[in-house]
Amino acid sequence: MTEFPTTMDDRQRATPYASALEAQEARDTVNLMVPGHGATPSGLSQELSRFCGERALAMDIPPLIDGIDVGPASAFVQATRLAAEAWGARRTWFLTNGASQANRMAALALAGLHRGDTVVAQRSAHSSFTDGVLLGDLLPRFVFPSIDEERGINHGVDPRALDEALTRAASDDDVIAAVYVISPSYFGAVADVAALAEVAHRHGAPLVVDGAWGSHFGFHPALPESPARLGADITVSSTHKLGGSLTQSAMLHLGDGPFAAALEPMLDRAYMLTQSTSASALLLGSLDVARHALVHGGELIGETLAVVEDLRGALRDDGRYTIISDGFSAFPDIVAHDPLRVSIDVSSTGLSGHRMRDVLSADYGVYLEISTAQAVVAFIGPGKRPDLSRFSRALFEIADRADRAPTPEVFDFPALPQPVPMLMRPRSAYFSRHEIVSASEAVGRISADSLAAYPPGIPNVIPGEAITAETVAFLQTVAASPIGYVRGALDASLSRFRVVTETT
């Protein structure tokens, strides 16, 4: 675990890019450039100023300003170097299109290595990585995560399963370009990244870790370590999620491993393809500030960890709710859990997780990250102290009502569909001639789309795979749930599918 010294060096005490924006905001300027609000609240910008504040307008400046982001030693470059140091990376890219951009960058960089076109990927890979597979014309071979069959949720990949998948792919004459895994999972399960990196490297492949939900890792002894320090060659970091930056801001970290020299120029090229040419200075500045806060926030993070553990203790003492992470020891792939994520099985109340989430928000003003058929998940930001007693009181009141007048909901949520063999390369299927057919007609046809049920954004069918009746039923059920939708669907009800046109 990384422990930053009590006395920080001068580099980590600075926020070079954010400070440069603040200095620009303090100057007396006339902005005859974009954005159209001119960095002032006058005229038509009065409404925008009331909405987000004068200071935000003044720092919302375009790229390529001397003293801010021009040149190899600019304040912006200095900020990215500090971030790389903080997360244990060789180099870090600041992103304004979210961790989805980082996933696409990773896939495009792998395609550019020309080491092979096969990626052995965790089946629960986020749909944005599938987007990168399509763009880079990669061929995915899947390794399956462990599954909590009782709750229908998936966790991570065991190193032995990865070794078997890589060995199997090699025996099929696939040339492995990379390995792609996820840690932590949506429910906070942490995989053995160091062991996964050792397996991948032994097979001659770089390891990409989708650490979107673990941007706070490595900044307190009680938190899991940053994947970049454990051997990950590329780490995807959705910094806004639990790192404290503004929504849509993210980072990609390049590890200092055996593939770094080859990956770095390809990631640079992928960055140019995927980053906006009008990147928001506010988003980028928030990444600089979030890094500084995490590096210096150990005491506050410790306070957050303590109050979150008090919440878990109160739920355990009450006995009517199950803390899902308490059962993680049953899964060999899980070596730790994110203590800032509280996953709660609510089935004892007779309510679905979806209904519980609705009641908490509507009746108690408590908003949670995600719900499933049986569970809800609360995320608590590092260094924050929300009123968790209000949350626990709400849970206990809801349980009390259920005890007095139980009205169990019917849990009719289908099991996760089993993947089927790939019949076409994903890119070929995606760009093939296609037609739109009804759901019943789509069964047995080759999908031209990537369809991922949210939550949690995992592709259930990708281009080139056959559509099964099981998959159709699963997707339609998720789409009909209170907070569910299917990314890539033609309509909200999943009544139609885009399929490859039959050829003779």
Strands (E), 34-122: 91-95, 118-122
User: What is each CA distance from 106 to 2, 112, 144, 206, 274, in whole angstroms?
Assistant: 25, 10, 20, 11, 11
pTM, rounded to two decimals: 0.92
The stretch 52-63 carries a mean pLDDT of 95
Burial (0-12, 13-18, 19+ Cβ within 10 Å), 338: buried
What are 401-439's pLDDT values in tens digits?
A: 987 655 555 445 566 787 788 899 999 999 999 999 999
- The whole-number pLDDT of residue 65 equals 93
Pairing type for strands 176-182 and 207-210 reads parallel
How would residue 102 be classed by pLDDT, with cut points 50, 70 and 90?
very high
For the residues 251-266, what does the mean pLDDT come to?
Answer: 97
Give the pLDDT confidence score for residue 3 in this predicted structure: 45
DSSP for residue 96: S
Q: What is the CATH number of domain 72-289?
A: 3.40.640.10
Percent helix, strand, coil in the chain, to 5, is: 40, 15, 40
CA distances from 242 to 8, 13, 127, 134, 139 (A): 23, 21, 20, 29, 32
- Reduce the DSSP state of residue 54 to 3 states and report it: helix
Question: Residue 45: pLDDT above 60?
Answer: yes
Cβ proximity of 196 and 162 under 8 Å: yes
| Contact by Cβ (8 Å): 388, 380 | yes
68 vs 281: CA distance, rounded Å:
10
Buried-exposed string 109-148: b where 16+ CB fall within 10 A, e elsewhere: bbbbeebbbbbbbbbbbbbbbbbbbbbbebbbbbbebbbb
pLDDT digits (tens, 9 = 90+) for 188-228: 999 999 999 999 999 999 999 999 999 999 999 999 999 99
Q: Tell me the two tokens of residue 48.
A: 């925008």
pLDDT (tens digit per residue) in 143-168: 989 888 777 788 999 999 999 999 99
The amino acid at residue 424 is M
Region 109-121: mean pLDDT is: 91
User: Which of 243, 355, 221, 251 has the alpha carbon at shortest distance from 292?
Assistant: 243
Architecture of domain 426-500: Alpha-Beta Complex (3.90)
Confidence at residue 153, expressed as pLDDT on a 0 to 100 scale: 82
- The maximal CA–CA distance of the chain, rounded, in angstroms, is 71
**What is the rounded CA–CA span in Å between residue 390 and residue 387?**
6
Q: Say whether domain 298-404 belongs to CATH 3.10.50.40.
A: no
Q: For residue 69, report the phi and psi dihedrals to the nearest 5 degrees.
A: -140, 20
Quickly state the pLDDT bin for 263 (edges 50, 70, 90): very high
Give the model's pLDDT for residue 141.
92
Mean pLDDT, residues 15-37 taken together: 94
Band of residue 2 on the pLDDT scale cut at 50, 70, 90: very low
Pairing of strands 451-454, 234-237: unpaired
Domain ranges of the chain: 72-289, 298-404, 426-500
Percentage of the residues of the chain whose pLDDT score is greater than 70: 94
Mean pLDDT over each residue of the chain, to the nearest integer: 92
pLDDT cut 90: percent of the chain above it: 78
465 backbone φψ class: left, alpha, beta (φ>0; ψ -120 to 50): beta
134's CB contacts (< 8 A; 6+ apart) are: 426, 427, 430, 450, 463
- What is the Cα–Cα distance from 95 to 87, expressed in whole angstroms? 15
Strand partners, 234: 208, 254
- The mean pLDDT of 252-265, rounded to a whole number, is 97
> Residue 177: in which H helix or E strand, if any?
strand 176-182
**What's the residue count for the chain?**
504
Residues 479, 424, 441, 443, CA torsion sign: negative
Amino acid identity of 412?
Answer: D
Q: Model confidence at 457, in pLDDT bands (50, 70, 90)?
A: low
- How confident is the model at residue 454, as a pLDDT? 74
pLDDT score of 456: 59
